[in-house]
Amino acid sequence: MLLNVSCSLEFSSETTVPSIFMLHPQSGNAQFVVRNELLTTPYTPVIEFPDIYRNLCQRIIIPSGSFKLESRALVDCSDTVDVNMYASWIPMPELPDHVLQFLLPSRYCESDKFADLAIKLTEGCAPGYQQVDAICKWINGSIRYEYGTTNSSTSAADVLATKVGVCRDFTHLGITLCRSLDIPARMVAGYLYDLKPMDLHAWFEAYVGGRWYCFDATQREPKGGRIVLAYGRDAADVAFVSHFGNAVLKEMIVNVQLS
């Protein structure tokens, strides 16, 4: 499906604020970016570089006063999500080199502490896709979705304790449980068609059956219409903006529409 997506951010700050954004979708196996635009008001230089995961990052020194950044794109992506209950667990010796890093614990995914729970939740499942599916269903049924209950320091362990969070937290918990079963899992930040209320979204991918599959613990069944902005170990890697100074986000408008 062909989607018109945009994210418009308005900042206010008293000084210049060096910042890194990750708001530029790029073409790849999962999507093709027909058109891509990054508008700054007032016009401000942007330096773009790929991080270690090959995500596009934008360095911008936000000027003092009022600043607006708008990223718009026309992107072709799949309108469905691949499901394969027979995709099996891949033992470490057969995992490609670049996938191994997604077995490690990370800032918000303390997978070194979750083995018991993961084993319990996936009892009786065939190793692989079915385990991840069981994990997602459990999260979807056990964690309450509520804005404002968590913050940028909330990790999977915190979410497990409070049983409440937003897409980012659902995702961290899913990733953590997968990794504790030696299933590689990575975070995805991006746009999702028909999300209500509309916002930037986060989900995850698990490597089973020899490839990455998409999972979204905030949904009963993962839907298509996903535009990827960034992949990473967890939210530390895929923040849509990191400020090095104080900038106040006055307004954020996200739009995803059929072209």
Instruction: Report the C-alpha gap between 104 and 73 in whole angstroms.
Output: 33
Q: Does the footprint of a second copy cover residue 101 (CB under 8 A)?
A: yes
Query: Is the C-alpha dihedral spanning 144, 146, 149, 154 positive or negative?
Result: positive
Residue 9 contacts residue 252 (beta carbons within 8 Å): yes
Q: CB of residue 18 vs a second copy: minimum separation in angstroms? A: 4
- Taking the C-alpha atoms of residue 126 and residue 89, their distance in angstroms, rounded to an integer, is 8
Task: Classify each residue of 183-193 as buried b or exposed e, where b means 16 or more C-beta atoms within 10 Å of its C-beta.
Answer: bbbbbbbbbbb
Q: Is 126 an interacting residue with respect to a second copy (CB under 8 A)?
A: no
Nearer to a second copy by Cβ, of 16 and 219: the residue is 16
- Residue 10 engages a second copy in binding (rule: CB under 8 A): no
Q: Does residue 236 belong to the site contacting a second copy (CB under 8 A)?
A: yes
Helices (H) and strands (E) in the chain, counts: 5, 14
Instruction: Fill in the amino acid letter for 77.
Output: C
Among candidate residues 226, 191, 185, the one with its CA nearest the CA of residue 204: 185
| Residue from 41, 59, 83, 126 in contact with a second copy (CB under 8 A) | 59
Least CB distance from residue 51 to a second copy, whole Å?
7
Q: How far apart are CA 33 and CA 27, in angstroms?
A: 5
Site string for a second copy, 159-198 (x = CB under 8 A): -----------------------x----------------
Closest distance between a second copy and the C-beta of residue 29, in Å?
7
**By the rule CB under 8 A, 35 interacts with a second copy:** yes
Contact 132, 208 (CB under 8 A): yes
Using the rule CB under 8 A, is 51 a contact of a second copy?
yes
Between 53 and 145, name the residue whose CB sits nearer to a second copy: 53
Q: In angstroms, rounded to a whole number, what is the distance separating the alpha carbons of residues 249 and 202?
A: 20
Q: Which is nearer to a second copy, 71 or 218 (CB)?
A: 71
The residue among 93 and 148 lying less far from a second copy, judged by its C-beta, is 93
Shortest Cβ 196–a second copy spacing (Å): 29
Tell me: does residue 117 bind a second copy (CB under 8 A): no
Burial (CB count <10 Å: 0-12, 13-18, 19+), residue 26: middle
Exactly one of 6, 13, 55, 106 binds a second copy (CB under 8 A); that residue is: 106
Please report whether residue 86 would count as binding a second copy according to CB under 8 A: no
* Total residues binding a second copy (CB under 8 A): 49
d(CA 259, CA 254): 15
Q: Which positions lie near a second copy, rule CB under 8 A?
A: 18, 20, 26-29, 32-39, 45-52, 54, 57-59, 61, 76, 91-93, 97-98, 100-101, 104-107, 109-110, 112-113, 152-153, 182, 236-237, 244
